[in-house]
Structure 1
Amino acid sequence: MSKEAISIFWFRRDLRFDDNTGLHEALEGNNPVLPIFIFDKHILDDLEDKDDGRVTFIFDELTALNEQLKEKGSTLLTFYDTPEKAFKQLVKDYNITKVYTNRDYEPYARDRDEKIADLLKDNDIEFELFKDHVILEPDEALKDDGDPYVVFTPYSKTWRSNLKPKDLEPVPSALYFDNFHQHQFKKIIPLKEMGFERSSLDIPSKNITDNTLKNYADLRDYPAEKGTSRLGIHFRFGTVSIRKVAKEAKEKSDTYLNELIWREFYQTILYHFPKVVDSNFKSKYDAVNWRNNEKEFEAWCQGKTGYPIVDAGMRQLNQTGYMHNRIRMVVASFLTKHLLIDWRWGEAYFARKLLDYELASNNGGWQWAAGTGTDAQPYFRIFNPESQTKKFDPELKYIKKWVPELDTEDYPEPIVEHKEGRERALDTYKKALN
C-alpha cells in the first residue's frame, strides 16, 4: 500500500458530492483524499429483513458515487465491519494525517465517534467533524439561559431568528475533485457478501418540484394527493443537501420550511435528552398500564383492524416502505390510545419498515402521538378514525387503493369500538397520572 500522506473522508449520512461540508473541507486540505464508507456491522447485523430497502438504496448510491470517482482515477473504499476494526485496518495500510466526516447526533453515532476519535488520537491522526446533516445544530437554537427548548413554537421562533444567510449557502465540493487519492479501481462490497438481497421497493425522486412547494400547505394532509415531497429517505442518508431544500422552502413555502424545523427540533431533543430512545420524555407517563395485546398488535401491523384508514396506512407501509404523514399520526394514535399498546412497539415497527426512518423524528412522532413526549398532544386528544377519514379522504380514494375488499365480507369487523377504546384510554391515562 502507498505510504504517501493522505487524508480520509468518511461518508456516512451524506451520500453526495455536491454541497457536502466535510468533503469540501477534506478536498481543500493539503493531502490527497481517500473516500471511504463502512457498512457498519453494529447496525446491519441487527436488521430483521435481508431485503431491507435502505441497504439496497445505500448500495446503489455508493455505486453511483464510485462511478463518478473512477472518472477521476479514484474509487470509494468500502468495508463491511465495525468502524473500530475498519479504522485499525486503515491505520495499518495508509499514512493518514487527518480524517474528515460530518457530524451525526444520534446516541450510537456519538458514542462511535468518540471511540474512533480516541483510536485516531492514539495514532497521532486528527479527527474533525462538520455540520452538514442539519441547518442549525442542537446547540445553535437554545434558550437565553442555554437550556434546550422542549416546546416547538418558541424553538422555531429562535431557530428562525438565529438563521443566517450563510447557513443556507452551498459549499463547492466539485471544484476540488482532482484532489481525490489516485488508486486502482475497487468495487462496492456486494449485497450478497453482507447477507442481503436486493429490495424491489421503489425509491422516490430526490428532486422537489416548485409545484410541490407551491401546493404543499393545501395538499399535504390529503393522502390520496401527491402533496408531499417524499424526500425523507434522501434527508436520512444525505443524498440531497438540507441547505438546498431549506433555501427553496424559505423562498416558496413557509409551511414546508416549518416541517424542516420540526425535523431539527426532534434532532435537538434526541441530542439533549438521549433517554427518549427507549424512555418516555415525560416520566410521569411511566405509570401508564399498557395492554400490549400481541394479537391486536399483529392485526395493526397487517392492516386488519377493521378501521379502513388505519388499515390503508399500514398496508401502504408494508407494501411500499412509506406512509403518508397524516396517516402516520392516525395509526399511531390508534395503536397507543384505542389499543393501549406501548408506543415503543409501534416505533420499532416503523423503524423496521420505513424507508425514511430517522430515529429522532420517528421517536418524536410516536411520543407525540402517545402523549408521552415533548410538546405532545394531550393524552385526552384521541383521533377519531372516522372523522379523520371524512376530513382527509372523503371520497375514499386512498382507502380503496389499499383496502380493495372494503364493504365486502372479507373485511374484518372493528377490533374495538371507537367509543369503548376512547373511554378505556382516557380511564387508563387518568389512573396513571393521578
Structure 2
Amino acid sequence: MVSAIWFRRDLRVGDNRAVSRALENGERPFCLFVIDPKVLSASSSPIRASYLKASLEELNEELDDNLTLLVGDTASELAGFASQSGISDLYSSRDVTPLSRVIERQVAEALSKIGVRIHFVDTPYLVDLDKVLKEDGSPFRVFTPYFKAWMKSALAEEVVRLPRHYEFRSSKPIGPIDWGPLEQVVSYCGQFAASSAEITARLDYFADEILPSYSELRDFPAKDGTSRLSVALKFGRIQSLISLMFIRSPGAASISFHFPSSDDPKRG
C-alpha cells in the first residue's frame, strides 16, 4: 500500500497523528504540501508568507529533504499526484475554517473518483472541537463548565509517538524547488521562532522566565511578556499539547518530545 501525508497546519514530524498513522499503515509515505494561491491570498500577509516558507524549509529538513511541494488548486494537485504515484491512502489533519472545509470536500470528492481513500485523523487544536460537549451531547453555553470539560480532555491527551524506525518516500525532481507564489518571498528574519531549536528554546524561556509574571507583563507590547509562539502554533510547528506540558511542568515535555533530525538515532 502506498500512502501519502498531506501537511496543512501541522508542519512538524514529531507528535503528528497523520504522520504516525501513515507510517503505521504504509511503507515510506510521500510527504506533500500544496501551495494554493487562493489560500495564500485569503490568509497570508508578506510576513506570514515568509514565516510559512521558513517553516516548510524546516519541515523539509526534518523529512530528510523528502517534502514534495505542489503548486496550484489543492484538489486538482493532490488528485493528480495520487494518480501518477499510485497512492491508495492519504492522511491529513482536519481544519475548521470555512475555506478549509470547502477544500476538504473538494479533495475528498476528487480522490474518491480515482479510488483513493482520505483519512482525517486529527485537528490543529489541542482538543478536537467535537470532544468538548455536555453529557447529553449538546454544546456548552456557559464558559466555566466548558473550561473544566476542556481541561479534563486536554490533560487526558498524550504525545503521539512515532515508530522506532521510519523513513519517507521522495518524489522531488532534480533541480531547484518550485515555490510558486512563495518564490519571491523574502527570507524570514522576524522576531518569532521558526526553527525547531528556536521554538524549543523560546518555549522553555517562556515557562521559566515569563510565565511567573505573565499577568503583569502581557499588556505591555514593549516588554517581552508573552510567548511569541502564536504563529508557530498556527502553522503547527509545535503542538498545543507540548506547550501545555511545558507550562504545567517546565522541562517535562523535552523528555517525551523532540524534533526529529537527520542524525536522530530513532531514524531508520
TM-score by length of 2: 0.79
Give the structure 1 partner of residue 56 of structure 2.
Answer: 62
Please say which of residues 155-164 and 30-39 is displaced more in the overlay: 155-164
Between the aligned partners of 1:65 and 1:19, the Cα distance in structure 2 is 13
Q: 1:13 to 1:184 in 2, by over 3 A?
A: closer
Letter in 2 for 1:181: R
Which residue identity lines up with residue 88 of structure 1 in the other structure?
Answer: A
Within 1, Cα distance between the matches of 2:38 and 2:66?
Answer: 25
Structure 2, unmatched stretches of 5+, are 194-198, 251-268
Residue 37 of structure 2 aligns with an amino acid whose one-letter code is K
Structure 1 unpaired stretches of 5+: 253-434
Displacement of 1:7 after TM fit? Answer: 0.5
Determine if contact 1:98/1:127 at 8 Å carries over to the other structure.
yes
Q: Give the match's secondary structure for 2:244.
A: helix
SS at match of 2:89: strand
- Relative to structure 1, the CA distance from residue 87 to residue 54 in structure 2 (aligned partners, 3 Å threshold; closer, same or farther) is same
Indicate conservation of the 8 Å contact 1:22/1:132, yes or no: no
Q: Is the 8 A contact 2:68 2:172 kept in 1?
A: no
Pick the aligned partner of 1:42 from 26, 32, 38: 38
Deviation at residue 155 of structure 1 after TM alignment: 1.4
2:185 aligned partner = 197
Distance 1:155 1:198, change over 3 A: same
Please say if 1:177 is aligned against 2:173.
Answer: no
Cα–Cα, structure 1 residues 150 and 14, in superposed 2: closer, same or farther, change >3 Å? Answer: same
Say yes or no: does 1:103 pair with 2:91: no
Q: Secondary structure of the residue that 2:18 maps to in structure 1?
A: helix
CA distance in 2 between counterparts of 1:46 and 1:211 reads 36
How far residue 122 of structure 1 moved from its aligned partner, in angstroms, is 2.1
Partner of 1:16: 12
| Residue 233 (structure 1) shift | 0.2
223, 226, 236: which is aligned to 1:225?
A: 223
Bigger relative CO (Cα 8 Å, ≥ 6 apart): 2
For residue 255 of structure 2, what is the aligned residue in structure 1?
A: none
Task: For 1:78, give the aligned amino acid.
Answer: L
Between 1:236-245 and 1:152-161, the stretch displaced more is: 152-161
What is aligned with 1:75? Answer: 66
Q: 1:30 to 1:48 in 2, by over 3 A?
A: closer
Structure 1 residues 200 and 102 mapped into 2: Cα distance closer, same or farther (>3 Å)?
A: closer
Q: Deviations over 1:185-227 (max 9, x none)?
A: 6654236x55643166514122312212233233223333211
Two-structure CA RMSD over aligned residues (Å): 2.5
Q: Please give the residue correspondences for 1:242-391 in structure 2 after superposition, counting only pairs within 5 Å.
A: 242-251=240-249
- Is the aligned partner of 1:143 residue 2:134? yes
Greater shift in the superposed pair: 141-150 or 99-108: 141-150
TM-fit CA distance, 1:83: 0.7
2:232, 2:35 → 1: CA distance? 18
In our comparison, the structure showing a higher alpha carbon Rg is 1
Whether the 8 Å CA contact 2:93–2:124 is kept in 1: the answer is: yes
CA distance in 1, matches of 2:230, 2:188: 18
Take 1:144 and 1:129, find their aligned partners in 2: how far apart are those partners?
25
Identity of aligned residues (%): 27
Structure 2: how far apart are the matches of 1:232 and 1:188?
28
| CA positional deviation for 1:110 | 1.6
- Taking the aligned partners of 2:44 and 2:23, their CA distance within structure 1 comes to 37
CA contact under 8 A between 1:6 and 1:181: conserved in structure 2?
Answer: no
Contact 1:220 1:228 in 2 (8 A): yes
The match for 1:153 is: 144
**Partner letter of residue 5 of structure 2?**
F
